[in-house]
Amino acid sequence: MDRRHFVIVGGGGAGVEAAAALRQADPEARIAVWTDEEVPYYARIRLGEVVDGRSRPEDLFLRLPSWWKDQGIELRLGVTVEGIDPGQGRVQDGEGTWTPWDALLLATGARPFLPPIPGIDRPEVVTLRRMKDALAIRDRLAGSRRAVVLGGGLLGLELAASLAQAGIAVTVVEAAPWLLPRQVDPEGGEVLRGLLARRGIDFRLGTTAGSLEGGASGGCRVVLSSGESLEADLVPVMAGVRSETSLARAAGLDVASGIRVDDGMRTSAPGVFAAGDCAEHRSGIYGFWSAATEQGRAAGRAMATGDSPYQGSVRTTTLKVTDVALFSVGDLQGPAVRVERHREGDRYRCVRLDEEGRVVGAVLIGDLGLRKALMLAMMSRKAWEPLQGGTP
Ligand X SMILES: Cc1cc2nc3c(=O)[nH]c(=O)nc-3n(C[C@H](O)[C@H](O)[C@H](O)COP(=O)(O)OP(=O)(O)OC[C@H]3O[C@@H](n4cnc5c(N)ncnc54)[C@H](O)[C@@H]3O)c2cc1C
Residues that bind ligand X (CB under 6 A): 9-15, 34-37, 44-45, 47-48, 80-81, 107-110, 128-130, 155, 244, 247, 276-277, 287-290, 292, 318, 320
Q: 81's torsion region: left (phi>0), alpha (psi -120 to 50) or beta?
A: beta
Nearest to 128 by CA among 192, 185, 46: 46
Q: Are 280 and 287 in contact (CB under 8 A)?
A: no
Of 130 and 204, CB closest to ligand X:
130
Number of other residues whose CB lies within 10 A of the CB of residue 194: 11
CA distances from 23 to 17, 20, 71, 293 (A): 10, 5, 7, 15
The minimum distance between CB 349 and ligand X, in angstroms, equals 20
Q: Are 201 and 164 in contact (CB under 8 A)?
A: yes
Identify the burial level of 284 via C-beta atoms within 10 angstroms of its C-beta, where 0-12 means exposed, 13-18 middle and 19 or more buried.
Answer: middle
Distance (Å, whole) CA 245 – CA 107: 10
Of 83 and 357, CB closest to ligand X:
83
Residue 263 identity = D
Helix (H) or strand (E) holding 160: helix 154-165
Of 248 and 336, CB closest to ligand X:
248
The minimum distance between CB 217 and ligand X, in angstroms, equals 29
Q: Are 256 and 280 in contact (CB under 8 A)?
A: yes
Of 80 and 226, CB closest to ligand X:
80
Distance (Å, whole) CA 111 – CA 98: 25
Of 223 and 298, CB closest to ligand X:
298
The minimum distance between CB 215 and ligand X, in angstroms, equals 26
| Residues 6 or more apart whose Cβ sits within 8 Å of residue 189 | 178, 179, 180, 181
The minimum distance between CB 347 and ligand X, in angstroms, equals 21
Of 155 and 191, CB closest to ligand X:
155
The minimum distance between CB 383 and ligand X, in angstroms, equals 28
Of 288 and 384, CB closest to ligand X:
288
The minimum distance between CB 222 and ligand X, in angstroms, equals 21
Of 321 and 353, CB closest to ligand X:
321
Distance (Å, whole) CA 163 – CA 175: 21
> Sheet harboring 338-344: ordered strands across?
316-318, 326-330, 359-365, 347-353, 338-344
The minimum distance between CB 14 and ligand X, in angstroms, equals 3
The minimum distance between CB 346 and ligand X, in angstroms, equals 21
